[in-house]
Amino acid sequence: VNRPLAQTEIQRILALVPWVIAHPGTPKTDLAARFGVSLDQLDADLDLVLMIGVPPYSPGDYLDVETDDEDRVTIRLADYFRRPLRLTPAEGLALLAAGRALLGVPGSDPAGPLATALAKLEAALDLPDVVIEVGDPEHLAAAREAARCRERIEIEYWSAGRGELTTRRVDPAVVFFALGAWYLGAYCHRAEAERVFRVDRIRGLRPTGEHFAAGESEFDAAEVFNPSPDDPRVTLRLPPAAAWVAEAYPTEAVTERGDGILDVVLAVSEPAWLERLLLRLGPEAQVLRPAEWTGLGAEAATRVLARYRR
Amino acid sequence: VGRVTDNPTRVERVLNLLALLLDTSHPLTRDEIVGEVSGYPAQASAYRRAFERDKEILRSMGVPITVEQVGDTGESGYRVRPEDYYLPDLGLTAEETAALRVAVSAVALDHPAGEGALMKLGSRTAPGQAPIASLPLVPVLAPLFDAFRRRAVVTFTHRGRARTLESWGLTSQRGHWYVVGLDHDRGAIRAFRADRIEGDVAIGPPDAFTIPDDFRPELHIEDRAWMLGTGEPTTVQLVVDAGYTDWIGPELGDDATVEPRADGSTLVTLPVVDRSAFRSFALGFLDHAEVLGPADVRADIVEWLETIASGPAGPA
C-alpha cells in the first residue's frame, strides 16, 4: 500500500468536491488544470466521489456527480463536504511565509492583492504575523530590472574567493535569494561562461543599452548552488567537533571512521574557501585528497602567522 | 495513461469514514462505524488495525477527530465537528487568490504545505515558474507556529540543552528561521535558530501567556556567533586591509565601530563574548586582517595558527 499516494488523492478529492459545489458547471478541462491532474485522473477521482455516502446508504444518500454533454461537472448531496478542510499549521505558515517573503522583495506593492490576501488570511484564521527579512542590497533593483528586460550590464564585482575587484559585462538571467543572500546568475563575457555573483558584492552597475536575446543565457536557478562538475573534489577528515561541516555544506559523500570521525567529500571551487574552513576547524581537520592540497591549511596558517610576526 | 488511483478501496473507505464522522450528530463507537462503512475486513483484529490506520491518515492530514466517552461502558466515541473541520470562507477575490498562487510559486519552501494550502483554495503553483527565493521551512516550524498562534509554551532541545519558551514570535532573518520569546530558564528574551532544534517540539496548553503589544521578534536576533554566550564581552580591535571590507559584512551590529585609516585599511572595534567564534570570524579574512589587541586575544590567535602551521595533529 502506497500511503502517501492514497493521502494525496484523498486530499485532492476533499478540495475538489467543495470547489465544484461552489462552482457548479465547471468544465472538466478547467478542473483538471486547477487541481493539476490529467483528465483520466479527474475521471477516476469523480468515479470515487460517486462512491461516497452516509447511512443508510440508499441511492439518495450518495454524492451525485453530473456531467452534462459539454463536460461541465456538478456535484450534489454533499453537504458535509461543502467546505474544504481547514489549513494545517504548516499550510497556514507556508502561505504567510511565501507571501511575506515576496512582499519583502523590493518593488512589491505593499498595498496590493498579496498584502490584502494575507490580511484576510490572518484575520479569518486568527493567524499571527511572521516577519521575514530578505535584505535589499544596493544594486538588487537594477539587477532584477536588467534580468527582466534582458539588458546587458557592466558590473564592478568583488570576488571574495580571489580577493580582487573586476569589471565584467554580463547578461543577467536570474536574480535569486538563497542561503540568506541575493545572487545574480548571468552569462559573463569575461569568463565566457555562466557565473553566479553575490548581489551585495556588486560595487557598481551600469546598463549598457544592449539587449540580449532570450535563450542566449540558459540559466537554471535550481542549479545555481550545485557545484560545477569541474570543481575539484576534496576529501576532508573531520574530528567529532567539526562534524557540523557535513551538515552545513553540500557533501557528496560522508564516511564514518569510528569514534565520531568523519571523512567527507566536498566540491571546492576556490582554494581560499577551503583555507578559511581549515583555519576555522584547527589542526585536527585534515585534507586527505587531493595530494596537492594536503598542506593547504598549514600553508595558510603560516602565511597568516607571517603577518602577526612582522 | 491508465487509472492513477492508488488503492481505490482504501481511498473510498477513508472518504466514507470521514463523511460519516462529519455527518453524525453524536459520537460513534468503532464497532458502530465499522458496521456502517463498507470496506473494512470482517475479522475483529484486522478491522481494528484498519480503523486505526484510517484514523491516523485523517489526523495526519489535519482532520480534527474528537474522542468522547459514550454509553455506560465508557467506550470511545468518535466524530468530527463541522465547525472544527471547515475552512472558514476567507473572502478572497480571484486577484488575491492569484497573488497567493504567485507567492507560493515564487518562494521555494522545500515543503508540500504551500501546495496543500493552495489546493484548498482551489489553486496550485504555476507550472514551470522558476522560484525567485528559497526559504526552506524546516519541520519544527509548523508546531512552533501553532504554539505561537495559540500562545502555548513550547519545550525543545536546542544545541543539546532543554529549553522552555513562551513563543512570542517567529521570524526569518538572512535566510534563517528563529523562534523568539521568553526563555523560562533564563528569565529573559532569547532567540533560537529553528534548524538547530533537535527532535520534536512539545506544545503546552493554549493561552498560557500574553505577548507584549510592541514586541518585535526581529530585534532580538543575535546572529553574531561571537556575541553568543554569557560571559563579559571583551573589546577587540581588528584591522582589515583596504579592499577587503566587503568581507566584514552587514552583521557587525550597532555596538561595533568601523573607522577608515589613512593607509586605506579599516579598524574595526567590536565586543566579543565567545573568543573561538571571533577567531573563526577573524581568520575568515586569511592574511588580509590582523587582531591588534587586546594582547591575550592576539596571543590566542597566534597560538592557534602555530598548531595548524606545524602540520596535522595525528598520524596521517
Chain B residue with CA closest to A118: the answer is: B100
- % of chain A with per-residue pLDDT over 70: 91
- Please report, for residues A38, A76, A125, B316, the alpha-carbon distance to residue A50 in angstroms, rounded to integers and kept in the order given: 19, 10, 31, 70
Q: How does the average pLDDT of chain B come out, rounded?
A: 88
Judge whether residue B153 has pLDDT over 90.
yes
Report the pLDDT value the prediction gives residue B114, as an integer from 0 to 100. Answer: 93
Report the pLDDT value the prediction gives residue A116, as an integer from 0 to 100. Answer: 97
E strand spans, chain A: 26-27, 64-67, 72-76, 131-133, 151-159, 164-178, 181-188, 193-198, 202-211, 233-238, 251-256, 262-267, 286-289
Q: How does the average pLDDT of chain A come out, rounded?
A: 87
- % of chain B with per-residue pLDDT over 90: 52
- Can the peptide bond before residue B127 be classed as cis, meaning omega within 30 degrees of 0? no
Q: Which residues contact A126 (CB under 8 A, 6 or more apart)?
A: B149
What is the value of ipTM here, to two decimals?
0.80
C-alpha cell recorded at residue A291: 595530494
Q: Does residue B107 sit at the A interface (CB-CB below 8 Å)?
A: yes
Chain B residue with CA closest to A120: the answer is: B90
d(CA A119, CA A129): 9
CB contact under 8 A, B137 and A180: no
Q: Which of residues 180-209 of B touch A (CB under 8 A)?
A: none
Taking the CA of residue B30 as centre, how many other CA atoms within 13 Å lie in the half-sphere pointing to its CB? Answer: 16
Q: Which of residues 126-185 of B touch A (CB under 8 A)?
A: 127, 130-135, 137, 141-143, 145-146, 148-149, 169-176
Which residues of chain A have a CB within 8 Å of the CB of B220? none
pLDDT digits (tens, 9 = 90+) for B41-74: 889 999 999 999 999 999 999 999 999 999 888 8
Which residues of chain B have a CB within 8 Å of the CB of A204? none
| For residues A91-95, average pLDDT | 96
Which residues of chain A have a CB within 8 Å of the CB of B14? 6, 10
Q: Looking at A105-177, list the stretches that DSSP marks H as alpha helix, in order from N- to C-terminal side.
A: 113-125, 140-148
- % of chain B with per-residue pLDDT over 70: 93
pLDDT digits (tens, 9 = 90+) for A131-156: 998 988 899 999 999 999 999 999 99
Cβ contact A183:A137 at 8 Å: no
Q: Which of B19, B36, B133 sits opposite A52 (nearest CB)?
A: B19
DSSP B169-236: EEEEETTEEEEEEEETTTTEEEEEEGGGEEEEEEE--SS-----TT--GGGG----GGG-SSS--EEE
- Place A2 in a pLDDT band, splitting at 50, 70 and 90: very low
Report the pLDDT value the prediction gives residue B277, as an integer from 0 to 100. Answer: 82
CB contact under 8 A, A91 and B114: yes
Range scoring the smallest mean pLDDT among A222-231, A244-253, B6-15, B154-163: A222-231
Judge whether residue B315 has pLDDT over 50.
no
Chain B residue with CA closest to A306: the answer is: B287
